[in-house]
């Protein structure tokens, strides 16, 4: 189903929501929980919250009820805005939603709830129910907290990034300068950082279709000037024979040179990998030609974008700073430098990642960082590749390469293509190679190392 919304309609919706929130006493310094599916209503809610100088705490229905309770207790929103789907997940549709791996606590238990969009039986009252249009205060100027985005953490100790109005504005300026969207030509992408700069430039924006087949048709119909998809979305679209146009951008998970090359071969003028974190978006970018030409160890993610500074700490962890960096973690003091959790190098004006600090595998007396070697395993016929540690039963670990072939690839040919890269790994050569689909997890569907390690252990035992 397609829903078309004009800029005028979006602006009117944002004004309506701002008036309703203002009538509830929400203003500068307030906090609004947001459990609304991506789309025009979610964008209008965020614009309304921003206009009033409040901050939006983004809630993820897939996080589980215990985690959500802890997150809400930390953020303490004055009201939670939820669409009918989120409330259904928390109420009468809970058994159905559980099958889709969605779960919410009963939102009404956690504080005032208002419905955004069409209501279903059992939903809270509409956000703007009984609110008469009145005089809104002038849009808030200056800096202040703008968004709370939950990242890692547990039910007992949730963790959230706090972005200010200034850091969000800096991030969106960087995106606008990087993508350079032209007016009146479609852009395909669904993130806040894609939507706002594109709409501000006069470009119409389409949210990506969920089905890979529908996404391939959408790309053919729109012929977008710029497309932003995650690596899993790209891989699934390519498997459906998708053709690309203009410049294609991907991030949220590692993008190999092979994946970017396949996108170029499918018609894209340029294919870019974007290195970004919740704490700093975007940080660096690299085009396919430069990445494909890189032959050194590690994963080249490109030059730091304007204003981004990079250095490493004593453990080799990459640290970043810049105007688009988060102000702090919720409940903690502000910090200038963002600890990325990635080992990296910063020579020659480019960033090269060497793997996650926590992903180190200890085999014998040797520390092996998977990120140094995984890019070399993305040879022809390989979709994804991970190096994981599997308990050897004697307190040591076995290093296993888990390799996911491209659909339809011949397993013998894939193993033959891997022989050269494996031989060049020296003392880091894996003890075993397992060909299998790599599990994905999280909102961005990144490779799940823990699940891959468990699967590899089961395969090897078998």
pLDDT computed for residue 394 by the predictor: 63
Question: What is d(CA 102, CA 442) in angstroms, rounded to the nearest whole number?
Answer: 12
> What burial class does residue 120 get, using C-beta atoms within 10 Å of its C-beta: 0-12 exposed, 13-18 middle, 19+ buried?
middle
Question: What is d(CA 210, CA 213) in angstroms, rounded to the nearest whole number?
Answer: 9
Q: Is the dihedral of CA 72, 11, 204, 200 positive or negative?
A: negative
pLDDT computed for residue 106 by the predictor: 59
Q: What parts of the chain have a pLDDT lower than 70?
A: 1-3, 61-66, 87-111, 130, 132-134, 152-156, 365, 393-395, 443-444
Q: pLDDT by residue (tens digit) across 58-114?
A: 987 656 666 777 888 889 999 999 888 776 655 544 554 444 444 455 555 666 888
Question: What is d(CA 127, CA 115) in angstroms, rounded to the nearest whole number?
Answer: 5
Question: What is d(CA 119, CA 102) in angstroms, rounded to the nearest whole number?
Answer: 19
**362: three-class secondary structure by DSSP:** strand
**458: three-class secondary structure by DSSP:** helix
Question: What is d(CA 391, CA 380) in angstroms, rounded to the nearest whole number?
Answer: 30
Q: Is the dihedral of CA 270, 271, 275, 278 positive or negative?
A: positive
Sequence-ordered list of residues with C-beta below 8 angstroms from that of 109, at least 6 positions apart, any chain:
none
Distances (CA, A) of 141 to 53, 71, 172, 305: 8, 28, 17, 26
- Please name which of 255, 258, 298 lies closest in space to residue 276, comparing C-alpha atoms: 255
Q: pLDDT by residue (tens digit) across 248-290?
A: 999 887 888 999 999 999 999 999 999 999 999 999 999 999 9
- The DSSP string of 2-55 is -----HHHHHHHHHHHHHHHHHTT--TT-EEEEE--TTHHHHHHHHHHHHTT-E
CA torsion, ordered 268, 271, 277, 280, to nearest 10 deg: -90
Sequence-ordered list of residues with C-beta below 8 angstroms from that of 1, at least 6 positions apart, any chain:
none
Helix or strand holding residue 73 (H, E): helix 65-75
Residue indicated by tokens 């852009």: 187
Sequence-ordered list of residues with C-beta below 8 angstroms from that of 460, at least 6 positions apart, any chain:
390, 398, 400, 432, 434
Residues in the chain: 462
Q: How far from chain centre, in Å, is Cα 408?
A: 28
pTM check: above 0.85: no
CB atoms within 10 A of CB 10: 17
């Amino acid at each position: 189903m397609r829903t078309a919304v004009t800029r005028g309609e979006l602006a009117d919706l944002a004004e309506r929501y701002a008036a309703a929130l203002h009538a509830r006493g929400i203003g500068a310094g307030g906090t609004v929980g947001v459990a609304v599916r991506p789309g025009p209503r979610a964008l209008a809610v965020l614009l309304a919250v921003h206009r009033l100088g409040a901050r939006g705490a983004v809630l993820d229905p897939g996080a589980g009820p215990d985690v959500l309770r802890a997150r809400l207790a930390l953020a303490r929103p004055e009201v939670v805005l939820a669409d009918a789907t989120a409330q259904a997940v928390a109420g009468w549709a809970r058994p159905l939603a559980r099958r889709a791996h969605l779960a919410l606590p009963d939102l009404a238990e956690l504080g005032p709830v208002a419905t955004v969009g069409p209501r279903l039986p059992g939903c809270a009252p509409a956000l703007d129910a009984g609110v008469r249009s009145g005089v809104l205060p002038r849009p808030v100027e200056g800096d202040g907290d703008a968004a709370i985005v939950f990242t890692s953490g547990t039910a007992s100790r949730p963790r959230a990034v706090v972005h200010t109005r200034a850091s969000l504005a800096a991030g969106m300026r960087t995106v606008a300068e990087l993508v350079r969207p032209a007016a009146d030509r479609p852009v395909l992408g669904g993130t806040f950082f894609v939507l706002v700069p594109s709409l501000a430039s006069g470009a119409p924006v389409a949210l990506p279709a969920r089905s890979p087949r529908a996404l391939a048709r959408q790309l053919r119909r729109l012929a977008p000037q710029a497309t932003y998809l995650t690596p899993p979305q790209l891989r699934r679209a390519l498997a459906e024979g998708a053709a690309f146009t203009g410049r294609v951008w991907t991030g949220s998970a590692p993008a190999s040179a092979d994946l970017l090359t396949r996108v170029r071969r499918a018609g894209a003028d340029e294919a870019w990998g974007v290195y970004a974190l919740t704490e700093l978006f975007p940080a660096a970018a690299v085009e396919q030609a430069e990445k494909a030409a890189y032959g050194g160890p590690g994963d080249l993610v490109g030059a730091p974008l304007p204003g981004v500074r990079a250095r490493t700490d004593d453990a080799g962890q990459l640290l970043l700073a810049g105007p688009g960096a988060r102000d702090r973690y919720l409940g903690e003091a502000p910090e200038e430098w963002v600890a990325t959790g990635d080992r990296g190098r910063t020579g020659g004006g480019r960033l090269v990642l060497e793997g996650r600090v926590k992903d180190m595998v200890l085999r014998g007396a040797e520390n092996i960082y998977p990120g140094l070697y995984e890019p070399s395993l993305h040879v022809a016929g390989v979709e994804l590749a991970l190096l994981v540690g599997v308990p050897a039963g004697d307190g040591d670990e076995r290093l296993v390469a888990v390799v996911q072939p491209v659909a339809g690839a011949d397993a013998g040919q894939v193993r033959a293509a891997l022989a050269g890269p494996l031989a060049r790994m020296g003392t880091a050569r894996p003890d075993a190679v397992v060909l299998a689909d790599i599990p994905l997890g999280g909102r961005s569907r990144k490779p799940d190392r823990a699940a891959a390690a468990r699967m590899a252990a089961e395969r090897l035992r078998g």
